[in-house]
């Protein structure tokens, strides 16, 4: 029996940033598909534990583990914890990231470095461990953004960090030839998370929603469905791609 033919209940997923709006939706979606889930967080333990409790109440298996995604020692411990608790790793979803906005001419270099550390180095560290430790039949899903296509003012530094994520994702997919591991990225458009909605007037949110031909914002569940597809049996023939989950905004 090949790994993909095994019961979905035997599959194990790590979700970095699993306590956030999109990350928690991804954790729930993968758990609903029968996977055991390691919910990673870096700050709010209470949010991560709430996600774990919700999954467990629905009959799933989950555990919360903290760590800095850009720290290779902390992330090695995260992968160790997943293997020790559940026996192996089949799916890694890298939702952890930060977004700091300013015109390029005004962006503080400290802010640029902070975003680069989390979004680029963090993705690199987690991807490197995934490449070494995912079981055959596994999937790595990184996170980009539809802003890489939209050329919106104030997003230069953020889009640059996500452009780097796309580059490493597409190259890693080719480097893992022969290992039966898929590597893809999901690029969300405007998504109704608390972080996105914070500080925006209802009128501004309405204008942003109207940009999509579907005339609404995405939901965390919309993005989680795309991730679940790439992480599941239906996505096994999708490899080395960036999936724009944005309702048609770009």
- CB burial string 12-44: b at 16+ within 10 A, e below: bbbbbbbbbbbbbbbbbbbbebebbbbbbbbee
Count of residues making up the chain: 250
Q: For residues 44 and 96, is the Cβ–Cβ distance under 8 A? A: no
**Catalytic positions, please?**
158
CA dihedral 224, 228, 234, 238 (to 10 degrees): 80
114 sits in which H/E element: helix 109-115
Please tell me whether residue 65 adopts helix, strand or coil conformation: strand
64 sits in which H/E element: strand 62-66
């Amino acid at each position: 029996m090949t790994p993909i033919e095994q019961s979905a209940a035997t599959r194990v997923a790590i979700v970095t940033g699993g306590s956030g709006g999109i990350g928690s939706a991804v954790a729930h979606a993968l758990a609903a598909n029968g996977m055991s889930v390691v919910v990673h967080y870096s700050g709010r333990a209470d949010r991560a534990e709430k996600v774990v409790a919700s999954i467990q109440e629905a009959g799933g298996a989950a555990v919360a583990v903290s760590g800095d995604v850009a720290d290779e020692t902390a992330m090695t411990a995260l992968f160790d914890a997943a293997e020790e608790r559940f026996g192996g790793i089949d799916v890694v979803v890298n939702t952890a990231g930060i977004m700091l906005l300013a015109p390029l001419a005004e962006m503080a270099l400290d802010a640029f470095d902070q975003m680069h550390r989390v979004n680029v180095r963090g993705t690199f560290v987690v991807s490197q461990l995934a490449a070494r430790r995912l079981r055959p039949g596994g999937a790595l899903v990184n996170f980009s953004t539809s802003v890489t296509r939209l050329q919106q003012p104030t997003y230069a530094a953020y889009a640059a960090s996500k452009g780097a994520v796309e580059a490493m994702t597409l190259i890693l997919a080719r480097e893992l030839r022969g290992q039966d591991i898929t590597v893809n990225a999901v690029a969300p458009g405007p998504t109704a998370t608390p972080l996105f909605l914070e500080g925006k007037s209802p009128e501004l949110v309405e204008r942003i929603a109207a940009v999509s031909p579907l005339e609404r914002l995405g939901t965390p569940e919309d993005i989680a469905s795309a991730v679940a597809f790439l992480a599941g049996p239906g996505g096994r023939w999708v490899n080395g791609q960036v999936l724009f989950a944005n309702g048609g905004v770009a």
